[in-house]
């Protein structure tokens, strides 16, 4: 249900982007941008006796101010899997980057990273995300491929509101292809 609301919110923002007038379309790259990025994966496995399937949906939502070629903003990410057991993950933090033409590189320091372990337990930690991509300008908006490198370090386990240290830390790194949209206003 929460994933469906996230997808509905993203689709609404994308549709709103079609009506946004862009100062960036005229070549002036100063202003605010909303830049969602999407990743979806679906897989199945059949060994003759057991068939399993899973899916992963990841949505990055970025809000930033671009001044010249410099990007200052924030990132919020939600990740969920349709596998069993279901995995839910969120992270957020400030971002800084560089944009030139369609090229963009954005670094985000993730102050709050959380991954659900069960209905009452979740890992907590920090991390970083580096996004590199190219956005094709389509007037008042742009879209294009993006690669994201993420690294998370979980140092706490919260079980029903009681935090304990995770020793050694749980570390996760990923490289994911995404498709990004940029809307200027």
Q: pLDDT, tens digit, for every residue of 53-81?
A: 888 899 999 999 999 999 999 999 998 88
Q: pLDDT, tens digit, for every residue of 87-103?
A: 788 999 999 999 998 99
- pTM exceeds 0.85 for this model: no
Per CATH, the architecture of 2-43+53-184 is what? Beta Barrel (2.40)
Residue 64 makes CB contacts below 8 A (sequence gap 6+) with: 32, 33, 35, 71, 72, 73, 74, 95, 97, 106
């Amino acid at each position: 249900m929460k994933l469906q609301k996230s997808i509905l919110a993203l689709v609404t923002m994308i549709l709103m982007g079609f009506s946004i007038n862009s100062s960036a379309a005229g070549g002036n790259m100063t202003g605010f941008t909303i830049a969602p990025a999407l990743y979806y994966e679906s897989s199945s496995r059949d060994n003759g006796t057991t068939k399993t399937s899973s899916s992963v949906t990841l949505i990055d939502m970025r809000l930033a101010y671009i001044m010249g070629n410099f990007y200052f903003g924030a990132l919020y990410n939600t990740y969920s899997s349709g596998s069993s057991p279901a995995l839910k993950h969120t992270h957020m933090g400030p971002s800084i980057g560089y944009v030139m033409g369609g090229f963009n590189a954005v670094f985000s320091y993730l102050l709050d990273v959380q991954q659900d372990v069960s209905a009452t337990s979740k890992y907590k930690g920090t991390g970083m995300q580096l996004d590199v991509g190219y956005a094709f300008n389509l007037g008042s908006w742009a879209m294009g491929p993006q690669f994201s490198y993420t690294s998370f370090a979980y140092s706490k386990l919260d079980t029903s509101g009681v935090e304990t240290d995770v020793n050694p830390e749980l570390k996760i790194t990923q490289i994911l292809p995404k498709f990004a949209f940029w809307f200027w206003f």
